[in-house]
Structure 1
């Protein structure tokens, strides 16, 4: 194949010419669209413009365009310099505000801890005085027994005994949780939600638990498990990962029942899907603290029915 034919992608430049009949007119074929695509790689307008630039020689950019570009560069530099200066001037104030807020939080936490300790001490004194006064006769002893049953049901007394430990650990930050952030908590790698812990607590009650605590917070009638932002609150107290759920009760029977519960099935699904670590073990002696007791308010209708 000749070089000319290769340049045209295999098409002969003499195609359409009559070379056999003497005296016959020679025709020049019009290039087909396919031949044009294979041979002409530059648009005719661009080719003409390139030829004009080549004939006119190398042209210089007008001074006005260069000046505008220099002015734009100076303007961008000034904007960045102002932003850096503002950030530098605001940084100390921001740091000071952060320290003031952190100090306020620590002081409030210390005051809360002191108030909680004083409340517990006064509650202990009241309990001792009540028992000393009621234990003297049969009626008082029966009243104390009824109070003990009611306080135990309300989670108002500390308990200890054998039971079950359920520990749930969030997956590591290195794991890819793109689907988690879309399906569970938007913009957060958190996998365990309040409804998961609620299901665990309900399943433990159904398995025969006599007392339950999450992260050292006792579960009672007025205790809520809810989610606030990226944290979990139990009785308005934050609990942190790993989440430890302790239940006092018959350990073997609880283990067998909890092993078939919807809560464990859900946790195993999260374990297989997102890498959550779940451990369930029996314990010989668990200590659960007393829970907080709040007043129960009853609503009544005002006015005629």
Structure 2
């Protein structure tokens, strides 16, 4: 089918519509639906002309996935540049503060206080024994189990959060997800089967590493209801779950933004 536009097509549509509305000769049999045909033709002509004008010679159902992919890649590149600039600025601030601290005792005291808490806050790399947990999507199955859907075959935000919460509860001293250091303010978000963490986008398998007493960490994972539900799904839907003990595990220092948008003072500190 070809779309037409312009005054010629409109004249044809209007002429046919008016011609159909002319009163027929008396005695000639008319059908009830015949009076609606011109109106339908007029509306159809309007629809075709509007569609042709909107399309502009292109397909209205053009696949925009390549454009979205390029948009994501551009955003990642911009984020990487911004992170590099932020790191350079933080380094300049530290250097200037160090210079000032040499002649200003209050600033020197505050810097000493900051340095004493850097490790606990997650701003230094740590190493030690611990546990690594990997969560992965199920392979594509030709026939899904009864009552199952494709949604049952992927790792969800709640699954990752269950492992993270269990490891914190087990006394983890430091933790990383996909080799990115996570803090008490870190948020785990999933979109589809991708993980969003500190501005980065990651695909499964999701690797969670925690430094701490391996025995206590294992027990915390075994006691977690959310982790147990995922393990059950591993059996039913072939999801991936791997848990290994490491005698020497390392997690990087947190290098993201430390800006807080909201905070409260605990009742005990008031």
User: TM-score if structure 2 supplies the norm length?
Assistant: 0.62
Unaligned runs of 5+ in 1: 1-85, 182-186, 300-305
How far residue 113 of structure 1 moved from its aligned partner, in angstroms, is 0.7
Distance 2:231 2:65 in 1: 41
Q: Which residue of 1 aligns with 2:137?
A: 170
How far residue 168 of structure 1 moved from its aligned partner, in angstroms, is 1.1
Say yes or no: does 1:287 pair with 2:251.
yes
Deviation per CA, 1:111-134, whole angstroms, max 9, x where unpaired? 111111111122233234434544
2:125–2:253: 8 Å Cα contact kept in structure 1? Answer: yes
Bigger radius of gyration: 1
Distance 2:169 2:156 in 1: 20
1:217 to 152, 163, 180: 180
Say yes or no: does 1:203 pair with 2:169.
no
How far residue 276 of structure 1 moved from its aligned partner, in angstroms, is 1.7
How far residue 150 of structure 1 moved from its aligned partner, in angstroms, is 4.6
2:241 to 261, 278, 302: 278
1:161–1:248: 8 Å Cα contact kept in structure 2? Answer: yes
How far residue 247 of structure 1 moved from its aligned partner, in angstroms, is 1.2
Q: Which residue of 2 aligns with 1:74?
A: none
Q: Which residue of 2 aligns with 1:118?
A: 85
Q: Which residue of 1 aligns with 2:126?
A: 160
* Alpha-carbon spacing, 1:235–1:275, altered in 2? closer, same or farther (3 Å): same
* Alpha-carbon spacing, 1:241–1:132, altered in 2? closer, same or farther (3 Å): same
* Alpha-carbon spacing, 1:101–1:225, altered in 2? closer, same or farther (3 Å): closer
1:228 to 186, 191, 195: 191
**Greater RCO (CA < 8 Å, at least 6 residues apart):** 2
- 1:246-261 paired onto structure 2 within 5 Å: 246-261=209-224
Q: Which residue of 1 aligns with 2:97?
A: 130
How far residue 107 of structure 1 moved from its aligned partner, in angstroms, is 2.4
Deviation per CA, 1:15-53, whole angstroms, max 9, x where unpaired? xxxxxxxxxxxxxxxxxxxxxxxxxxxxxxxxxxxxxxx
Q: How many residues align?
A: 207
2:154–2:193: 8 Å Cα contact kept in structure 1? Answer: no
User: TM-score if structure 1 supplies the norm length?
Assistant: 0.56
How far residue 263 of structure 1 moved from its aligned partner, in angstroms, is 4.5
How far residue 136 of structure 1 moved from its aligned partner, in angstroms, is 7.5
Distance 1:257 1:99 in 2: 44
1:94 to 62, 66, 86: 62
1:211–1:288: 8 Å Cα contact kept in structure 2? Answer: no
SS at match of 1:293: coil
2:155–2:193: 8 Å Cα contact kept in structure 1? Answer: no
* Alpha-carbon spacing, 1:201–1:100, altered in 2? closer, same or farther (3 Å): closer
1:270–1:276: 8 Å Cα contact kept in structure 2? Answer: yes
Deviation per CA, 1:200-244, whole angstroms, max 9, x where unpaired? 111111111122222233322332222334433234532211010
2:153–2:239: 8 Å Cα contact kept in structure 1? Answer: no
